[in-house]
Amino acid sequence: MIKVGIVGGTGYTGVELLRLLVAHPQVEIALITSRAEAGRSVADLFPSLRGRLELSFTDPDDNALAACDAVFFATPHNVAMRSVPRLLAAGTRVIDLSADFRIRDVAVWERWYGETHLCPELLDEAVYGLPERNREKIRGAKLLACPGCYPTAVQLGFMPLLQAGFVDTKSLIANAVSGVSGAGRQAKVDNLLSEVSDSFKAYGVSGHRHLPEIEQGLSAMASEPVSLTFVPHLAPMIRGIHATLYASLNEAGRAAELQALFEEAYADEPFVDVLPAGQYPQTRSVRGANSCQLALTVPQNRETVVVTVVEDNLVKGAAGQAIQCMNLMFDEDESLGIAQPGLLP
């Protein structure tokens, strides 16, 4: 059994980790911390867990965390990096769902997050937790940086095209749409049902913190710097990421069998599913599931390839992917505890 601790269990990523981990056959949840809710029963805050979990929130305590085999950080950025060095020193594996260890270049991180990084020396050691790109490194990781929800969808959608060198890397576009749970469980007028229901908007058009993370990943895939226009949007739904990706095909790309390229690229992946030509993915097909479904089209047989990608932002975009990485890190079957189909309808 893997003894697990969770830091920051009161947000949506936290409760999703709990939903999945209480049913994971090789995990024992040892503690869940929350400064604000310390002492309160977890099931009292999240009644969906009544009868499934007996724990109460506790104050964060690095010693208690260090007694775990693995600690998940489901916190805002700027929290994990305060505790990670001590946990690693104690031999505890860290799975950070925040942004603290996603960017390799500390100057870029500090520019986008507006903070001084407290342990830049660990950035090299941190493994970026996208199994479809980094599976072998993840197996040996001590410190795992889970990708953001948008970056997972965008990278999985562009990866086969970039690895094959089939598209212009200077004019990539990612038009991405998120459900409101992506904004977290924070008391903000902007995310009230009365504000966002029955409406649609773009936000952060001039610059979103996921941009440097995505460009870093895409550049590695392309083996050259890529330039991405990334526009996130908010849709009136709870869960789900839908990304519509646009790229200009070069001569090799126009000649290639793109459907076959994608099917082969993901043939052995348990959690990436290329739809048959002519079908398009819907976010509801992966609601609650650790699955990324995608499709590609070249409209009018012109020069632009369109890839549409869906995932559940809280599962393949966060908690599910984190557990997928944990399974790899602890030599478990990669799908253990995260193979449930989506909740449809």
283 binds a second copy (CB under 8 A): yes
Tell me which DSSP letter residue 59 carries: -
Residue 277 Cα distances to 257, 260, 295, 297, 307, angstroms: 12, 10, 7, 8, 11
- Assess 267 for contact with a second copy (CB under 8 A): no
DSSP character for 290?
A: S
- Our finding on whether 237 is near a second copy (CB under 8 A) is yes
> Would you call 149 a catalytic residue per the annotation?
yes
Q: How far apart are CA 256 and CA 224, in angstroms?
A: 21
CA distance 337 to 26: 8
Q: Measured from the CB of residue 85, what is the shortest distance to a second copy in angstroms?
A: 33
Q: Which is nearer to a second copy, 10 or 155 (CB)?
A: 10
Footprint on residues 286-325 left by a second copy (CB under 8 A)? 286-289, 291, 293, 295, 297, 299-300, 302, 304, 306, 308, 310
Residue 254 Cα distances to 167, 171, 219, 301, angstroms: 9, 16, 21, 9
- Residue 239 in the binding site for a second copy (CB under 8 A): yes
Query: Of 35, 50, 86, 111, which lies in the binding site for a second copy, with binding defined by CB under 8 A?
Result: 50
Q: Which of 7, 12, 102, 146 binds a second copy (CB under 8 A)?
A: 12
**Active-site residue (options: 68, 146, 149, 325):** 149
CB 160 to a second copy: min, Å? 18
Among 40, 86, 111, 201, binds a second copy (CB under 8 A): 201
> Sign of torsion, CA 160 206 238 71?
positive
User: Which residues, numbered 20-39, are part of the site for a second copy (CB under 8 A)?
Assistant: 22-23
Count of residues engaged in binding a second copy, rule: CB under 8 A: 92
Q: Which residues contact 330 (CB under 8 A, 6 or more apart)?
A: 2, 26, 69, 70, 93
Stretch that binds a second copy, among 62-70, 92-100, 204-212, 257-265 (CB under 8 A): 204-212
Q: Residues 1, 38, 192, 260: which binds a second copy (CB under 8 A)?
A: 192
Known catalytic residues are 149
